[in-house]
Chains A and B, each alone.
Chain A
Amino acid sequence: QKEVEQDPGPLSVPEGAIVSLNCTYSNSAFQYFMWYRQYSRKGPELLMYTYSSGNKEDGRFTAQVDKSSKYISLFIRDSQPSDSATYLCAMSAGRQYIFGTGTRLKVLA
């Protein structure tokens, strides 16, 4: 079993849709949960991070962590063509830092 599982997509949605991106993980020691956005041929950009369980909202983006299910989600409301990118989840416990393989998202105008 991989430490982090992330659906690679691609995920295509119409402009204005609500997008749900997800990761599952196996190591219950993870405490920090991050979402990065990566445009083609660019470095990952930190979108949001959450410590332990719960929700965090920032504009159109909401991150959720369910530690009991070992499941994290990123929701994008009112999706825009500029949201088209690869979204990477990441999680850490001290010096261990693990990335998902990324989900490619395409928002169609």
Chain B
Amino acid sequence: DGGITQSPKYLFRKEGQNVTLSCEQNLNHDAMYWYRQDPGQGLRLIYYSQIVNDFQKGDIAEGYSVSREKKESFPLTVTSAQKNPTAFYLCASSSQGSDIQYFGAGTRLSVL
């Protein structure tokens, strides 16, 4: 089945700890995105990548980092600099030249 796989489904972070959220897609999409979703707010863009080895900051990139070493993979690291990391994180992808994004099932991150 083609799709976007996010793991883990639930993640807990201790104070001062960095954690990495995984996003893998087998849709052969060129572009990948990370969003943060908080209750009562729309999706906010953290980072996006149009091609391998290149990525751009979104609206709320502070305290996050990404890499894009492979077309299929776009992991997100939530660093200790992100003081309010508790949220639902969504990964999405789209094909080149298309404005339509498809989403994974999400990772819920909480702070211990």
Contact = CB atoms under 8 A, between A and B. Distances in A.
Interface of A: 4, 8, 31-32, 34, 36, 41-46, 49, 88, 90, 92-94, 97-102
Interface string B52-80: 00000000000000000000000000000
**Chain A at the B interface: mostly helix, strand, loop or mixed?**
strand
Interface string B67-111: 000000000000000000000101000000001111111101000
Given A41-B108, A43-B90, A44-B90, A101 B103 contact: no
Given A41-B108, A44-B90, A97-B45, A8 B40 contact: yes
A34 B100 CA distance: 8
B16 interface: no
A42 B90 CA distance: 9
Nearest to A4: B42
A101 B100 contact: no
A102 B105 CA distance: 17
Interface of B: 4, 6, 33, 40-43, 45, 88, 90, 99-106, 108
Contact of B100 (A8, A32, A42, A93): A32
Contacts of A101: 40-42
A72 to B, nearest CB: 14
Contacts of B104: 43
Contacts of B103: 36, 43-46
Among all A-B residue pairs, the 5 with the closest Cβ atoms = A92-B99, A43-B103, A32-B99, A99-B42, A99-B43
A99 B90 CA distance: 13
Contacts of A46: 100-103
A88 B40 CA distance: 12
B78 to A, nearest CB: 18
A76 B43 CA distance: 23
A37 to B, nearest CB: 11
Given A31-B99, A32-B100, A34-B100, A42 B43 contact: no
